[in-house]
Amino acid sequence: MEDADGSFRMASRKFRREDTVVEIAASYGAAIGGGGFFVIAGPCSVETEAQICAIAREIKALGAQALRGGAFKPRSSPYSFQGLGADGLTMLLKARAASGLPVVSEIMEASQLPLFAEVDVIQVGARNMQNFELLRELGKSGKPVLLKRGLSSTIREWLMSAEHIMAGGNPNVILCERGIRTFETATRSTLDLSAIPVVKELSHLPILADPSHATGCARYVESMALAAAAAGADGLLIEVHNDPGAALCDGPQSITPAGFGRLRAKAEALRAALRDS
Ligand code: PEP
Ligand code: MN
């Protein structure tokens, strides 16, 4: 449904004044939005059962609230590792059982939805933000959807994609700013920090920041994560790998569990300082 001015409606602050809080699998008692700070961490891709279970336990001990791991990977090159598919999802669910963390994984097409029945949060990647057929099916599913911003999409287009999911009957949308394409090439993308306050003004939906894909470089992840926390993000999505040099996907931007522990502690300290100021 659209407003008379051709804008989003259900995703709009005008439609709902209070912040939306998205419950992640009630049995975990986890929720995104509403003043908390929700941190999702894990490798770009599920590689082996041992790898994903080990990372899951480590990040849980360091304060992560959910585990990410891609099984279906949208790779720019057809010759790169494409993910383990359904086997990867099975391993991710084993890591959930081993760690107690809810899991997040990316879907690439609507026909894969039955495979995601047990997955707690379904991620729609930047390259699929305007896959309207997929958004329509996710609208019917009722599951929490983590909707990444498209590589070259405006905030308004992004919110319209959220609207597609919501108009289908699913209010459980979490936005994720993951950087946009600009003329700058020193970083993989440009993290649009101002999107955070803009989205907060235009919409009631929670918004996370992903400094891993935005910068493409592990050395810049912590500072941009803290900047996003200061800008008012409801949480973070961070790529963490036990051995970034050997990662099958996105190793250069992956931080280690130790680095994640430092980032998590600093983000908490920053939020506490901002609360007390
Ligand atoms: C990912 O999260 O691994 C991913 C592919 O992200 P994006 O869609 O933001 O590029
Ligand atoms: Mn990745």
- Exposed, middle or buried: residue 228 (CB in 10 Å: 0-12, 13-18, 19+)? buried
Give residue 1's identity as a one-letter amino acid code. M
Tokens found for residue 144: 């929490």
Q: How far is the CA of 14 from the centre of ligand 2 (A)?
A: 34
CA of 230 to the centre of ligand 2 (A): 24
Q: 125 C-alpha vs ligand 1 centroid, how far in Å?
A: 5
Residue for token digits 């993290």? 191
Residue-level pLDDT, tens digit, the chain, 277 residues: 445 445 789 999 999 999 999 999 877 789 999 999 999 999 999 999 999 999 999 999 999 999 999 999 999 999 999 999 999 999 999 999 999 999 999 999 999 999 999 999 999 999 999 999 999 999 999 999 999 999 999 999 999 999 999 999 999 999 999 999 999 999 999 999 999 999 999 999 999 999 999 999 999 999 999 999 999 999 999 999 999 999 999 999 999 999 999 999 999 999 999 998 8
Probe target for ligand 1 pocket from 76, 189, 210, 241, with the most ligand atoms within 8 Å of CB: 210
Integer Cα distance of 27 and 77 in angstroms: 39
Exposed, middle or buried: residue 50 (CB in 10 Å: 0-12, 13-18, 19+)? Answer: exposed
Query: Atom 10 in ligand 1: which residue has the minimum CA distance?
Result: 126
**pLDDT at residue number 25:** 82
Pocket test for ligand 1, best of 82, 106, 131, 190 (most atoms within 8 A of CB): 106
Q: How far is the CA of 194 from the centre of ligand 1 (A)?
A: 20
Cβ-in-10-Å burial (0-12, 13-18, 19+) of 5 comes to exposed
What was the pLDDT predicted at 1? Answer: 44
Whole-number Å distance between alpha carbons of 187 and 250: 13
Q: What is the pLDDT of residue 3?
A: 54
Atom of ligand 1 nearest to the CA of 127: 8
- The CA 275 to ligand 2 mean position distance, Å, reads 32
Residue 158 CA to residue 178 CA, distance in Å, equals 12
Which residues' Cβ are closer than 6 Å to ligand 1? 44, 70, 74, 125-127, 148, 178, 213
